[in-house]
Every structure is written in structure tokens, then in C-alpha cells.
Amino acid sequence: DTAVSQTPKYLVTQMGNDKSIKCEQNLGHDTMYWYKQDSKKFLKIMFSYNNKELIINETVPNRFSPKSPDKAHLNLHINSLELGDSAVYFCASRRDRGRQETQYFGPGTRLLVL
């Protein structure tokens, strides 16, 4: 069973379009994250939700809007896509039980904006 899943795996779209990426975790974790990995493979956090509440919001254009309908899901909606949004987007989750808890990552969604 996949612990953290993302859909779609690949997304090719035109500039200016609006798209969504979905993430689901079946681990019963409390906190979920979105990371962006750019063309140089640098991973950077974008958002985090804890029990459906936004707790981390890094400097991300407001074209990006996360939504957490419940604790197991964290979706990412992107408006007016730009060429620079092309990247791999990773979802992750973590259980809030202390310093020993790691984050579990999904397989990534490869977004290409043409």
C-alpha cells in the first residue's frame, strides 16, 4: 500500500492554465507538506498543514493555494501557470510525536509548463 500518494504523476500544460495536484496519506499523520524541487534539484518547502490548519506558508506567489479538506489530504491548486512553475512537486507527511519522527515523501508530480 502506498503511504503517500500524489496525482497526477506527470502534468504538461500551457502557460496561463489553472491546475491542481492532489496528495493523500494513509499513515494517520497529523502534518502534511508541499515541497518544490527546481531544475537544479534544490528542494524547498512551500506549505504545511497540521490538522487542516495552515501552519507554514513560505514566500510563495499567491497563485499557489493549498487546500486541506481533511487530515489525510492536502491539495495544491495553481492559477495562471507560468514557465517558472515547471518543477517537481513533492508532498510529505509526518506524525507529531517528537524529534524522532521523519517525513514520508510521495513520488512527486512532474509539472511542465509550455
Whose cell is 506567489? That residue is 61
Nearest distance, CB of residue 104 and other proteins, angstroms: 7
The CA distance from 77 to 34, in Å, is: 11
Nearer to other proteins, 43 or 114 (CB): 43
Residue from 21, 74, 90, 111 that binds other proteins (CB under 8 A)? 90
CA distance 69 to 4: 16
| Selected binder of other proteins within 13, 60, 72, 107 (CB under 8 A) | 107
Q: Say whether residue 43 binds other proteins (CB under 8 A).
A: yes
Q: Where are the alpha helices (DSSP H) in the chain?
A: none
> Smallest Cα–Cα separation from 36: which of 28, 48, 44, 24?
44
31 binds other proteins, rule: CB under 8 A: yes
In the numeric block, which cell numbers belong to residue 55? 501552519
For residue 63, the minimal CB distance to other proteins (Å) is 21
Which residues here bind other proteins, judged by CB under 8 A? 4, 31, 33, 35, 40-45, 48, 50, 55-56, 90, 92, 94, 96, 99-108
